[in-house]
Amino acid sequence: MKLMSIPHLFHLLLFCATQTLGVRIQSDSVVGSEGVIQIELEGTVSLLCLSDGDSEPDEGLVWLRNGAMVRLMEENKKNGSRVCVTPAIQEDNGATFTCHLSSNASDSDSVTLNVTYPPPIMGSEELVVEEESVLVLQCDILANPQVSSVVWTVNGSTVDLLAGGFTLTDDGVTSQLIANSVDKSLHAASYGCLANSPLYGEFNKTFQVTVTDKVMKFPLMPIIAGVVVVCLTAILAVISRWSKIRQCCK
Ligand SMILES: *[C@@H]1O[C@H](CO)[C@@H](O)[C@H](O)[C@H]1NC(C)=O
Ligand SMILES: *[C@@H]1O[C@H](CO)[C@@H](O)[C@H](O)[C@H]1NC(C)=O
Ligand SMILES: *[C@@H]1O[C@H](CO)[C@@H](O)[C@H](O)[C@H]1NC(C)=O
């Protein structure tokens, strides 16, 4: 007996797959393993759901996005149903689209979107801060896939947190370099935030920080109140004096 050739085996498997699956999703985008479709932010993905096997050709189809029903035009429910995601937004990342026959929800096929986007790091910012105030430099690093590294530089070399009196926070969305009490000799400099995306490469933003002398803030209100009191006292003194002068002149 001859062994079944690989293509035959493949066809048999495919045949079995279509026999057990009543519906299947087709896309003009590449559907990766585990039904993941990778698209760029603002890109378009078109999904077509087809019922096959022995289901009725005019049986209705239903689309769900993350479990919620997608509203379809009546003519888009039979003999294949199409949904289109355009433009893809950040919220579409991880969204799962499921299609099934309206008569039988247990027969379904799904795809999940992987919407990729670079971190919004660019340009240059100029900051003027007063001595002894708080300096906060901020970089938005949200991206898909996540950035693999964020490096802060001062005058071109990596920031020394301890020597510079800095603290660094990073919650995966923003990275902040903070100096709680600005010192001109330590902090007046050119800063950079450098992030690396495994998919999109390097991104950087620069910050020019100028430190000004501390401005003495006069407590204006108490001064005005004080001046008013002094004037009133003086006027009262003159008035009382005047009455005395008038008395002796009588
Ligand atoms: C729904 O589909 C499943 C899987 O193909 C099948 O086992 C089941 O009998 C179907 N149910 C009905 C009501 O057709
Ligand atoms: C999305 O695609 C990116 C780039 O190929 C990949 O690094 C990441 O692991 C994917 N995410 C998921 C959830 O599949
Ligand atoms: C950075 O360079 C500027 C200009 O050369 C200099 O004035 C400043 O002191 C430097 N700052 C630090 C922290 O090295």
Q: Which residues line ligand 1 (CB under 6 A)?
A: 22, 104, 106-107
- Using a 10 angstrom Cβ sphere, with 0-12 exposed, 13-18 middle and 19 or more buried, the burial of residue 27 is middle
Residue nearest to atom 5 of ligand 1 (CA): 107
114 C-alpha to ligand 2 centroid (Å) = 6
Global pTM reads 0.74
Residue-wise pLDDT for 71-105, tens only, equals 999 888 888 899 999 999 999 999 999 999 988 88
Residue-wise pLDDT for 7-26, tens only, equals 443 443 444 344 445 889 99
Q: Which of 97, 107, 14 is nearest to 60 (CA)?
A: 107
Instruction: Please report which ligand is nearest the Cα atom of 37.
Output: 2
Atom of ligand 3 nearest to the CA of 186: 13
Atom of ligand 2 nearest to the CA of 94: 13
51 C-alpha to ligand 1 centroid (Å) = 13
Interatomic CA distance for residues 191 and 174, integer angstroms = 16
